[in-house]
Structure 1
Amino acid sequence: MRTYEMMFILKPDLSEDDIAEARERLQTIIADFGGEFLKELDGWGKKRLAYSIEDYSEGIYAVWHFNGETRTVDELDRIIKISDKFLRHMIIRLEE
Structure 2
Amino acid sequence: MREYETVICVRTDLDEAEQEKEVRTITDLITDKGGDIVMVDPWGRRRLAYEVDKHNEGVYTLVRYHGTNEILNELERRFRINENLLRHLTVVAEGPLPSPEAEGERGAESAGEAGDDDDSADQAD
Report what 2:70 is aligned to.
71
Partner Cα separation in structure 2 for residue 20 and residue 60 of structure 1? 10
Report what 2:18 is aligned to.
18
CA RMSD, 1 decimal: 1.1
Larger helix share, 1 or 2: 2
Q: Aligned partner of 1:6: which letter?
A: T
Identity of aligned pairs, percent?
Answer: 31
Q: Which ranges of 4 or more aligned residues in structure 1 deviate by more than 3 Å?
A: none
Q: Aligned partner of 2:23: which letter?
A: R
- Matched residue count: 95
Q: Aligned partner of 2:32: which letter?
A: D
Structure number with greater Rg is 2
Report what 2:9 is aligned to.
9
In the TM superposition, 1:55-70 aligns within 5 A as 55-70=54-69
SS in 2 for 1:46: strand
Report what 1:34 is aligned to.
34
Report what 1:81 is aligned to.
80
